[in-house]
Amino acid sequence: MQYRIMPDNPDSISILGFGCMRFPTLEDGSIIKDKAMELLNHAFENGVNYYDTAVPYHGGRSEALVGEFIAGKPRDKVFIATKLPSWLIHKPEDLYAQFEAQLQRLNTGYIDYYLVHSLNRRFWKPLLKNGLFDFLNDIKDKGLVRHIGFSFHDSLSLFKRIVDAYPWDFCQIMLNYLDTTYQAGLSGLRYAAKRNLGIIIMEPLRGGKLVDKIPSEIASLWDASSFAYTPAQRAFNWLWDKPEIHVVLSGMSSMEQVKQNIDNASSVRANSITPAEQRLYAKVRKSYLSKVKIDCSSCRYCLPCPNNLPIPFLFEMYNDAHIFEDKERHIREYKIWFDENTRADKCTACGACLAKCPREIPIPDKMKELAEFFV
């Protein structure tokens, strides 16, 4: 296992982090504890020392399982990360109530890496009004957390504002070789690195979409190259090649995944991808993006929609269905992620969004297209 030192603190952290949100489960959604513990223990015994959990993972069960896992480990040999549930903070008292409940579930006296979860425009201002910074300063001063950070899902401009708003120790962003300009993207990575933040990466495989059912033309590009890697290796290598990145999270659900990721994390080096390989990644990215059906940048200027439709997210789902050529999977995800009142067929074609879109996308027409596709 390889390790990287976090900025401004001596923690030597494994470049592979265990994302505790995809443990093996029963049909009712409950975690198969013995199998999950087997995965966690094998990872620990082979050098993985960073474990990332959160309140909503596995329906609230993940933190407690991680608490059981660390109970039998030297506490200074394992780094636990969990997150303040931003959407549950409605008054200042909620900050402490949520945090104290997390300490109890994790059965620990302190949290190594504490993140404000899923920061975006919706959550940011209410958190500030409820005294977020005073709360973070307090729990850190008391030694209840060692390092403060945030995870992020919004635009680059908001990311930069949040980075500059508080003396964060680290941040967690979505990044992979396809989504280089999505959300914080590579520009956000560089921005955070210049400000000496530790950087944790999530969604390295785009929820598995970069390794499952790879479109034929993408597979042909990879197969024609002389670089013999598995799809997962290609995705992780692209990230670990960047020295600014300290940890890449993987939500591992099988022993095969754990072993493969550990083997790869023990061999890849920063700044090792050749110019020829970089050109190949660029070709693959271009091929994926050529399948995009709606040229939406997720700027969110179209929001709020009078009918409360999450327009950019609906477009993203539609684009993904075409990019990854997997209509069946994305129809399932569409019905899971969007309730009946926020689906494309609820668009009334009022036109309120049209003047707001800088790319002049005919949004009502596209909503009709989506509604016909996701049936």
For 280, list phi and psi in degrees, rounded to 5: -65, -45
What is the rounded distance in angstroms from the CA atom of residue 176 to the CA atom of residue 201? 9
pLDDT band at 355 (very low <50, low <70, confident <90, very high): very high
Say if residues 151 and 117 touch (Cβ distance below 8 Å). Answer: yes
Q: Tokens representing 106?
A: 């994790």
Given a cut of 90, whether residue 89 has pLDDT beyond it is: yes
Task: Read off the pLDDT of each residue in 332-341 and give the average, rounded to a whole number.
Answer: 95
Q: What is the pLDDT of residues 30-59, one digit of tens each?
A: 999 999 999 999 999 999 999 999 999 999
The residues pairing with 250 across neighbouring beta strands, listed in sequence order, are 18
* DSSP strands (E only) in the chain: 3-5, 12-14, 16-19, 50-52, 79-84, 111-119, 145-152, 170-174, 198-202, 247-250
**Residue 18: strand pairing partners:** 51, 250
- Coil, strand or helix at 2: coil
Question: Can you give the pLDDT at residue 354?
Answer: 95
What are the pLDDT digits (tens) for 119-155?
999 999 999 999 999 999 999 999 999 999 999 999 9
Judge contact between 205 and 235, C-beta under 8 A: yes
Residue 228's pLDDT is what? 81
Q: 306-325: b or e for each residue (b if 16 or more CB lie within 10 Å)?
A: ebebbbbbbbbbbbbbbbbe
The CA–CA distances, whole Å, from 128 to 155, 157, 165, 172, 227 equal 18, 18, 10, 19, 48
H-helix or E-strand containing 232? helix 231-240
- Rounded-to-integer distance, Cα 100 and Cα 94, Å: 10
Picking from 275, 336, 76, 320, the residue whose alpha carbon sits closest to that of residue 178 is 320
- Residue 168 neighbours by CB under 8 Å, 6+ apart: 148, 149, 150, 197
The whole model's pTM is what? 0.92
Quote the pLDDT of residue 8.
85
* Residues 198-236 pLDDT 10s: 999 999 999 899 998 899 999 999 998 877 899 999 999
> Rounded distance, CA 358 to CA 298, Å?
11
Specify the DSSP class assigned to residue 75: G
Domains assigned to the chain? 3-280 (3.20.20.100), 311-373 (no CATH)
Q: What DSSP element (H or E) covers 216?
A: helix 216-223
Q: Per-residue pLDDT for 24 more than 90? A: yes
User: How does the average pLDDT of the chain come out, rounded?
Assistant: 95
Answer whether 340's CB lies under 8 Å from 375's CB: no
